[in-house]
Amino acid sequence: MTGVTSRWSSTGTTGSRRGLPLLVLAFTLGPVPAGAAASPRPADVMLDDPDPGRMVLGPTAVSHPRGRFRWTISDFLVHHLDYGLTDRLQVGMQSLLPVIYVGFFPQLKLSLAAGEGRYIALHIHGGIFWPYVEPETLRSLFTGRFALYGGGVILTKVMRPFTLNVALTAYGLRYGQKEFKYVIEGYQPITLSRVYYDNYWALLPSLGAGWQVSRRVKLNLEVHLPVGDFVDVGKIWLIMYGVRAFGRETYIDLSFVLPVYPDLGEIIRYIPLGIPLASVGLQW
Q: 126 and 24, same structural domain?
A: no
Average pLDDT of the residues in 16-45: 46
Q: 271 and 173, same structural domain?
A: yes
Q: 87 and 221, same structural domain?
A: yes
Q: 279 and 162, same structural domain?
A: yes
Q: 24 and 73, same structural domain?
A: no
Of the ranges 42-46, 217-221, 226-230, which one carries the lowest mean pLDDT score?
A: 42-46
| pLDDT of 2 over the 90 cut | no
For residue 246, is it within any domain?
Answer: yes
- In this structure, which amino acid lies at residue 93? M
Q: 189 and 149, same structural domain?
A: yes
Cβ-defined contacts of 191-194 (< 8 Å, 24+):
191/135
For residue 269, is it within any domain?
Answer: yes
Q: What is the CATH number of the domain that holds 168?
A: 2.40.128
For residue 188, is it within any domain?
Answer: yes
Q: 76 and 189, same structural domain?
A: yes
Q: 222 and 141, same structural domain?
A: yes
Mean pLDDT over each residue of the chain, to the nearest integer:
79
Q: 9 and 84, same structural domain?
A: no
Domain that holds residue 23: 1-29
Query: Taking the alpha carbons of 124, 199, 205, 270 in that order, is the dihedral positive or negative?
Result: negative
What b/e string do you get for 102-128 counting C-beta neighbours within 10 Å, with b at 16 or more?
A: ebebebebebeeeeeeebebebebbbe
pTM for the full model? 0.74
Q: 54 and 24, same structural domain?
A: no
Select from 249, 262, 268 the least CA-distant residue to 70: 249
Segment (H or E) for 127: strand 118-131
The whole-angstrom separation of Cα 224 and Cα 237 is 6
Instruction: Express each pLDDT in 252-274 by its tens digit.
Output: 999 999 988 877 777 788 888 99
Q: 128 and 78, same structural domain?
A: yes
For residue 247, is it within any domain?
Answer: yes
For residue 115, is it within any domain?
Answer: yes
pLDDT of residue 47: 82
Using 50, 70 and 90 to split pLDDT, how confident is the model at 70? very high
The whole-angstrom separation of Cα 48 and Cα 59 is 17
Average pLDDT of the residues in 104-119: 93
pLDDT of residue 126: 92
Domain count, the chain: 2
Q: 200 and 77, same structural domain?
A: yes
Select from 211, 223, 134 the least CA-distant residue to 179: 134
| pLDDT of 20 over the 50 cut | no
The whole-angstrom separation of Cα 279 and Cα 75 is 6
The whole-angstrom separation of Cα 65 and Cα 56 is 20
